[in-house]
C-alpha cells in the first residue's frame, strides 16, 4: 500500500504542476476574477454579468448550465470552468471573468483585478449552515457544531477573509456588497462594470438585473437544478436561492450565536479583512456602520484609474517573461547543437589523422588546396584532445538541454499549453472587431 502511494506520487505531482500551469495560462487573458465566500451573493453577481454580456453578444436566454459559458469557474472543468468559456464561438466578444470561492492561491495571475463580494458574516453563516446540511449534505450537526467546525464554519471563513485581505492590498479591487445589490442592484453593478473598464449600457444592465432577480433565479433552479449538485429541490432550505434577504440571521441565530460571530470577527479578522466588512455593525471593534446598512465602498475600493497602469505593468511583465523564455530556449538549442559539433570535429580530426598516418596532415589538407605549416600533433596528443573535449562537450550539452527545458517551462510551451495559448490569442486578436463599441448606447456617468 505504501509503495503504491509512493509510486503514484510523482505522477500526482506532475498532474498538479500541469494543471496549475494550464490554469495560469487559461486565466492570463482574464479581465478580472470574481471572488466571494460561499453564500455571499456570487451566483447573483455572475448571473447579472452573464446576462449583460450575453445580450451584448446577442446570445439567447441563459440557464444554470449555459451561464458558465459567460461566467465560468476558475478551474479547467470542461462544462463549468474556463474551457466552457473558450469553446464558445463568440468568446472574444465578452471579457473573461472567472469565479472562485477559494482562498487566495498563486495560480491567480499577478495583479489580476478582483471583484470581491461581501455580505454580513452573520447572514453568511446562517445561510452556509443550510447550504452544507441540506444542499451539499457535507455536514451533520446543529448550528453550534457548524460555527465551530474547522473545515466549513467560522475558522474557514476567517482563513478565507484574511488570505484575501492580505492580497487585496497588492492589487486593484472593487467590493460589491450583497446589501448594496438588494438596495440598488443597477447602481452597484454599474460601478462594478466601470471598475472593470467596461462601457455601461444602462438599458442592457437593467434588463440583466431583471433577468437575474431572485424570483427568476429561484424558478430557474427549480426547473433546471444546479449542474453537478444532487439535492432535494422540494426542500426550500436546500435550494441555492433560499431566501435572498438581508438580516435573515435575526430569526435563524440565537443571541449567543450572533454574539459568538461578532466577537470572533473582532478578534480573528486582520485589520485589512475587517475593513472589507466595515459597513456592518459587528461590535465595538468595528468602525461605525453606515445608516443605510450598505458596505462603505470608499474604504475598500481601489480607484478604477489605477487599472490601466496595472494592466500595462502586467503586460510588460508578460513580455519580459516571454523574452526571457525565448532567450533561454535559443541559448539552450545553440548549446545543445554546438556540443555534438565540437565533439564531432575533434573525432573527425583524430580519425582523419589516423587514416593518413603514413602521410603528413599537410598532405591531406593539400588535397583541398590548404597549406599548413608549423607543428603537427602526435597521435598521443590527438587522443588526449578527444578525451579533453568529451567532458567539455557533455557538460555543454547537458547545460544546453537544461536551459532549453527551463525556457520551455518559463514560457509555458507544453503541447497542451500551446494549443490553449493559440485559442486565447485568437480571441484576443478578434475582440476589437467582433465587439465594436455601440456609440448609440446610453452610458452610466463615471464618478
Q: How far apart are CA 427 and CA 26, in angstroms?
A: 12
Counting the structural domains of the chain, the total is 2
Task: Write the pLDDT tens digit of every residue in 351-360.
Answer: 655 555 555 5
- State whether 298 and 326 are in the same domain: no
439 phi/psi in degrees, rounded to 5: -65, -20
Mean pLDDT across the stretch 323-334?
81
- 224 lies in the same domain as 329: no
User: Quick one: 83 and 217 in the same domain?
Assistant: yes
Q: Does 151 reside within a domain?
A: yes
Q: What is the pLDDT of residues 377-425, one digit of tens each?
A: 566 666 656 556 667 777 878 888 888 777 776 665 544 444 444 554 4
Is residue 17 a part of any domain in this protein?
Answer: no
Q: Which helix (H) or strand (E) holds 408?
A: helix 379-410
Domain range for 368 is 321-413
Average pLDDT (90-95) is 71
- Pair (208, 104) in one structural domain: yes
Domain boundary among 276, 304, 332: 304
Query: Does residue 418 belong to any structural domain of this protein?
Result: no
- Give yes or no: residues 198 and 159 share one domain: yes
Report yes or no on 7 lying in a domain: no
Q: Is residue 245 in a domain? A: yes
Task: For residues 296-310, give the mean pLDDT.
Answer: 38
For residue 419, being part of any structural domain is answered with no
User: 93 with 194, same domain?
Assistant: yes
* Higher per-residue confidence, 188 vs 358: 188
Would you state the cell numbers that stand for residue 397, as one nine-digit string? 550539452
Please check whether residues 252 and 362 belong to one and the same domain: no
SS (H, E, C) the chain: CHHHHHHHHHHHHHHHHHHHHHHHHHCCCCCCEEEECCCCCHHHHHHHHHHHHHHHCCCCCCCCCHHHHCCCECCCCCCCCHHHHHCCCCHHHCCCCCEECCCCCCCCCCCCCEEEEECCHHHHHHHHHHHHHHHCCCCCCCHHHHHHCCCCCHHHHHHHHHHHHHHHCCCCEEEEEHHHHHHHHHHHHHHHHHHCCCCCEHHHHHHHHHHCCHHHHHHHHHHHCCCCCCCCCCCHHHCCCCCCCCCHHHHCCCHHHHHHHHHHHHHHCCHHHHHHCCCCCCCCCCCCCCCCCCCCHHHCCCCCCHHHHHHHHHHHHHHHHHHHHHHHHHHHHHHHHHHHHHHHHHHHHHHHHHHCCCCCHHHHHHCCCCCCCCCCCCHHHHHHHHHHHHHHHHHHHHHHHHHHHHHHHHCCCCHHHHHHHHHHHHHHHHHHHHCCCCCCCCECCCC
pLDDT tens string 133-146: 876 677 788 889 98
Residues 121 and 266 in one domain: yes
Whether residue 432 lies inside any domain: the answer is no
Question: To the nearest whole number, what is the mean pLDDT of the chain?
Answer: 72
**Among 248, 278, 304, residue at a domain's last position:** 304
Q: What percent of the chain has pLDDT over 90?
A: 25
Interatomic CA distance for residues 231 and 239, integer angstroms:
8
Last residue within a domain, chosen from 304, 339, 357: 304
440 within a domain of the structure (yes/no): no
Check whether 312 has a pLDDT greater than 70. no
Question: Are 403 and 376 members of one domain?
Answer: yes
Judgement on whether residues 44 and 138 belong to the same structural domain of the protein:
yes
**pTM for this one?**
0.62
Mean pLDDT of all residues in 91-110: 84
4-31 average pLDDT score: 57
CATH of the domain at 210: 3.40.50.300
> In this structure, are 193 and 255 located in the same domain?
yes
Same domain, 253 and 370: no
Amino acid at each position: 500500500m505504501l509503495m503504491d502511494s509512493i509510486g503514484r506520487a510523482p505522477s500526482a505531482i506532475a498532474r498538479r504542476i500541469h494543471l496549475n500551469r494550464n490554469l495560469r495560462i487559461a486565466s492570463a487573458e482574464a479581465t478580472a476574477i470574481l471572488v466571494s465566500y460561499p453564500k455571499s451573493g456570487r451566483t447573483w453577481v455572475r448571473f447579472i454579468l452573464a446576462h449583460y454580456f450575453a445580450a451584448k453578444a446577442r446570445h439567447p436566454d441563459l440557464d444554470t448550465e449555459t451561464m458558465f459559458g459567460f461566467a465560468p469557474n476558475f478551474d479547467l472543468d470542461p462544462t463549468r470552468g474556463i474551457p466552457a468559456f473558450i469553446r464558445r464561438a463568440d468568446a472574444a466578444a465578452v471579457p473573461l471573468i472567472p469565479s472562485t470561492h477559494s482562498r487566495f492561491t498563486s495560480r491567480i495571475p499577478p495583479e489580476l483585478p478582483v471583484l470581491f463580494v461581501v455580505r454580513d458574516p452573520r447572514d453568511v453563516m446562517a445561510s452556509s449552515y443550510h447550504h452544507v446540511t441540506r444542499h451539499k449534505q457535507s455536514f451533520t450537526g446543529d448550528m453550534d457544531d457548524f460555527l465551530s467546525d474547522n473545515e466549513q464554519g467560522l475558522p474557514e471563513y476567517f482563513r478565507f477573509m484574511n488570505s484575501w485581505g492580505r492580497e487585496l492590498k497588492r492589487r486593484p479591487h472593487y467590493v460589491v456588497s450583497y446589501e448594496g445589490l438588494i438596495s440598488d442592484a443597477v447602481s452597484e453593478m454599474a460601478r462594478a462594470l466601470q471598475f472593470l473598464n467596461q462601457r455601461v449600457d444602462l438599458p442592457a444592465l437593467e434588463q440583466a438585473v431583471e433577468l437575474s432577480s431572485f424570483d427568476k433565479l429561484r424558478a430557474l433552479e427549480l426547473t433546471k437544478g444546479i449542474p453537478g449538485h444532487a439535492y432535494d429541490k422540494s426542500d426550500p432550505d436546500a435550494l441555492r436561492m433560499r431566501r435572498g434577504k438581508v438580516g435573515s440571521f435575526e430569526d435563524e441565530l440565537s443571541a449567543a450565536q450572533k454574539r459568538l460571530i461578532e466577537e470572533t470577527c473582532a478578534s480573528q479578522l486582520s485589520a485589512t479583512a475587517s475593513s472589507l466588512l466595515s459597513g456592518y455593525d459587528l461590535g465595538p471593534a468595528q468602525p461605525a456602520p453606515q445608516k443605510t446598512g450598505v458596505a462603505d465602498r470608499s474604504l475598500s475600493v481601489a480607484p478604477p484609474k489605477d487599472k490601466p497602469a496595472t494592466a500595462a505593468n502586467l503586460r510588460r511583465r508578460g513580455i519580459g517573461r516571454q523574452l526571457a523564455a525565448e532567450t533561454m530556449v535559443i541559448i539552450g538549442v545553440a548549446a545543445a547543437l554546438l556540443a555534438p559539433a565540437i565533439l564531432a570535429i575533434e573525432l573527425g580530426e583524430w580519425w582523419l589523422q589516423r587514416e593518413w598516418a603514413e602521410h603528413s596532415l599537410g598532405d591531406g589538407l593539400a588535397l583541398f588546396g590548404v597549406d599548413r605549416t608549423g607543428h603537427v600533433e602526435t597521435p598521443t596528443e590527438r587522443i588526449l584532445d578527444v578525451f579533453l573535449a568529451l567532458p567539455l562537450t557533455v557538460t555543454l550539452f547537458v547545460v544546453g538541454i537544461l536551459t532549453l527545458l527551463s525556457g520551455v517551462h518559463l514560457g509555458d510551451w507544453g503541447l497542451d499549453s500551446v494549443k490553449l495559448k493559440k485559442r486565447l490569442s485568437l480571441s484576443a486578436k478578434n475582440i476589437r472587431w467582433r465587439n465594436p463599441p455601440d456609440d448609440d448606447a446610453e452610458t452610466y456617468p463615471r464618478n
